[in-house]
Amino acid sequence: MKIAIVGAGGIGATLGAKLALAGHQVALLARGANLNVLATEGLRLVDHLDDLTGRLRLPASDRPSDLGPQDLVIIALKSQQIPEVVGSLAPMLAPHTPVVPAINGLPWWYFERHGGEFEGLHLRALDPAGALAAAHMAHRVIGCVVHFAAELQAPGEVHHTGGRRLILGELDGSMSERLAAVCGALREARFEAEASPHIRLDVWTKLIGNLSFNPIAALTGYRMNQICGDEDVLGVIREIMREGMAVAERIGIRVAMTPDERIGIARQLGAAKISMLQDLEQRRRMELDGIVASVIELGERVGVPMPITRMVLALTLGRARALGIDGNRA
């Protein structure tokens, strides 16, 4: 398959490198210092799971027109970056090219092809100017929930540090041929790719972890194993999870696990450095809108108060401002 990866950060670069090693024609859409290294030296993959280190020379550009039509486009950007680029992706999209957003948080597509009273619900935190709604991309989207950890430790150098699991699903719950093809390509790249008929439940199962662990990591500086080993901090994690699960239930999604069972899933990532902590340390914009503010906004829409989550968001925004980082709350 011809596969374009939009965003060559930790997740995107890992996906691109391993898909290329599996024999697919991979191109990277990147920018800045990362693009400069990719174009001159290539992408260095350090795979801690497979004890593999190598350098790959992959086509890389900051212009979609340089890459041309693709069989698959994977978006691996921070949620706040997607509205900025979605309108420029047309040169890579053939009539039947699927788009897989491999992103954290509540995805912008969540209420597309949803049905019922929430069909087409627009959340300002996810799409403040309406750019994503205007792109009319829902028919292309295959939902994706990422359960692996990776870190871009330097421009052009990515470390795959934990997990292999990816859950993918059509927005209407169907088991389509294109879903099977995408899962097959990812399995060839040694990912544990699962086709799911209930991708929105899978989103929430991951999201209650993102919602709680990400800002707490930014506030404490803890890696995942340190959070899971601090019972005082876990008390806050549990309260945020309960608030998020209450919002999910109000829109018809019941996450059938306890907070402690969800914490057990997080423990499997070991000493992984959570993405929001990576961003904080690099003085980059954090995904507070996509991961936290969007759920609070949804809670407001459906009448679920989230006092602990609001408090943690306020503290994390304050931490960002103190370090001179744009808190990016819509």
Query: pLDDT tens for residues 9-62?
Result: 999 999 999 999 999 999 999 999 999 999 999 999 999 998 889 999 999 999
How many domains, the chain? 2
Are residues 98 and 7 part of one domain? yes
pLDDT, tens digit (0-9, with 9 covering 90-100), for 113-154:
898 899 989 999 999 999 998 888 999 999 999 999 899 999
Are residues 155 and 78 part of one domain? yes
Query: What integer pLDDT is reported at residue 228 of this predicted model?
Result: 96
Radius of gyration of the chain (CA): 19
Domain boundary among 165, 197, 229: 197
Q: In 3D, which of 75, 58, 77, 76 has the Cα closest to residue 67?
A: 58
Domain boundary among 145, 166, 197: 197
Q: What is the 3-state secondary structure (H, E, C) of 177-222?
A: HHHHHHHHHHHHCCCEEEECCCHHHHHHHHHHHHHHHHHHHHHHCC
End-to-end CA distance of the chain: give it in Å, rounded.
37
pTM: 0.92
pLDDT, tens digit (0-9, with 9 covering 90-100), for 259-293:
999 999 899 888 888 989 989 999 999 999 999 99
SS3 (DSSP) at 242:
helix
Catalytic amino acids?
206
Q: What is the CATH number of the domain that holds 234?
A: 1.10.1040.10
Parent domain of 105: 2-197
Are residues 184 and 172 part of one domain? yes
Dihedral sign of CA atoms 66, 69, 71, 73 in order: positive
